[in-house]
Amino acid sequence: MTDTKRCTKCGEVKSLEGFRRDRSKKQGRRSRCRECERQYERIRLPKSTAPHHVYPLLRDRAWVDQQYSREFRSVTEIATMVGCSYSTARRAIERHQIPVIPYGVRRALRARLEAQREGVRA
């Protein structure tokens, strides 16, 4: 097996290290060199211009902690309140290092909290 290969795009002969690996190819390398691949990717795959959503409430640790640890709201409820996905709300809780409350415990604590509020109102 040779230690060099010719790029099909620029025609230069380069060492095999100048080509990305590809197990489906005979030599185990792509046909275009790394530099030509980069140029192709820049043209073909431009950076995304989609808007990046920012949820200010999820950046506020006190608010997230209040909703999750004191109001005992579920991640789904928090996500609905903010208008984001479940995984985004879950990541915010993890990012703020708020301890995860198991489902059954959270449900019991929330029921107790609601019972206390009902008693106060009466």
* pLDDT on residue 53: 83
Global confidence as pTM: 0.57
- As a whole number, mean pLDDT of residues 69-98 equals 94
Quote the radius of gyration of the chain (alpha carbons, Å): 27
Cα separation of 106 and 87, whole Å?
19
* pLDDT on residue 74: 93
Count of alpha carbons within 13 Å of 45, Cβ hemisphere only?
Answer: 5
Spans of all domains in the chain: 4-44, 56-121
How many CB atoms lie under 10 A from the CB of residue 113? 13
Mean pLDDT, the chain, whole residue set: 90
- As a whole number, mean pLDDT of residues 24-52 equals 87
Cα separation of 121 and 97, whole Å?
34
- As a whole number, mean pLDDT of residues 69-83 equals 94
